Each structure stands twice: as structure tokens, then as C-alpha cells.
Amino acid sequence: MKTVNMHEAKTHLSRLVEEAAAGEEIVIARAGKPLVRLVAVSASEGPRKLGSLAGKVVERDDAWAPDPGLESMFYAVDVEPPRAKRVPGPAPKQMNPGRRKKK
């Protein structure tokens, strides 16, 4: 494994890429701290095999059932949205409406 600093990597990038393509692992550092590793891209294994997940994925029975919320948005059907529950928390800060902030 070869370590080079950032300036050297910018200056000799073509040579470093050729070395990495030949199989050498190169680490690029900044101020002595390793940042990135320059390695060759491995060749792909060819096209993927279709059906590799057959029988492993389970779909719920209602997966394709219509959603009332979405239908109301698309078709303008009046559907009562679910009410949000209020979570107790600190009271909002009250501002004095008679006072103005100084600039």
C-alpha cells in the first residue's frame, strides 16, 4: 500500500490511476491523515439473474387496496381526515403586543 499527500496526488494523478489499475492500493492523505483509498474497479459478474427473490417476498393482502386519504386528494371526495392527538408540552411564550423591539 502506497501513501501519497494531496498535492502529490493532484500532480501525478494519471500515474497513480495507472498504478491502481495495475492492482496497487494507494492512500491519499491530507496533513498526514489518510482520507481516501484509490483502488481499481472490479469487473462486474455479468447480468443479474432474474427471479432471485422469488418466494422470499411476501405481499400483504391489502397492499393494493385503495387508500381513502389518497382518493380524497385525487378525486376530491370528502373524507374526514384523522384528527391529530395533542401532545402535552410547555405552553407557548406570550409576547407583549404593546412593546416594540429596539433596533
Could you tell me if 8 and 26 are in contact, meaning their C-beta atoms sit under 8 angstroms apart?
no
Q: Which CATH architecture has domain 2-38?
A: 3-Layer(aba) Sandwich (3.40)
The pLDDT value recorded for residue 95 is 62
The pLDDT value recorded for residue 41 is 87
| Residue ranges of domains in the chain | 2-38
Q: Which amino acid is at 101?
A: K
Whether pTM > 0.85 for this model: the answer is no
Could you tell me if 39 and 28 are in contact, meaning their C-beta atoms sit under 8 angstroms apart?
no
The pLDDT value recorded for residue 5 is 95
| Regions of the chain short of the pLDDT cut 50 | none
